[in-house]
Amino acid sequence: MTFARSLFTIAFLGANTAWAASQTYVLDPQHSFPHFSISHLDMSTIHGRFDKMSGKVVYDAAARTGAIDVKIATASVTTGDGARSDGSRSRDDHLRSADFFNAAEFPEMHYKSSKLNFNGDRLESVDGTLTLLGVSKPVRMQVTHFKCGPNPFSKKAMCGADAEATVKRTDFGMRFGVPAIADEVKLQINLEAYPE
* Domain residue limits, the chain: 18-195
DSSP type of residue 169: G
Classify burial at 49, counting beta carbons within 10 Å of its beta carbon; exposed 0-12, middle 13-18, buried 19 or more. Answer: middle
pLDDT value, residue 191: 95
Start-end of H helices in the chain: 3-15, 91-96
pLDDT value, residue 135: 98
Contacts of residue 18, Cβ cutoff 8 Å, sequence gap at least 6: 157, 195
Helix, strand or coil, per DSSP, at residue 170: helix
Q: How far apart are CA 131 and CA 29, in angstroms?
A: 20
Q: What percentage of residues in the chain have a pLDDT greater than 70?
A: 90
CATH annotation of 18-195: 2.40.128.110
Tell me the pLDDT tens digit for each residue of 20-34: 578 999 999 999 999
pLDDT value, residue 14: 38
Closest CA to 138 of 171, 106, 170: 171
Tell me the pLDDT tens digit for each residue of 145-195: 999 999 999 999 999 999 999 999 999 999 999 999 999 999 999 999 999
Quote the pTM value: 0.85
pLDDT value, residue 85: 81
69 has a pLDDT exceeding 50: yes
63 has a pLDDT exceeding 50: yes
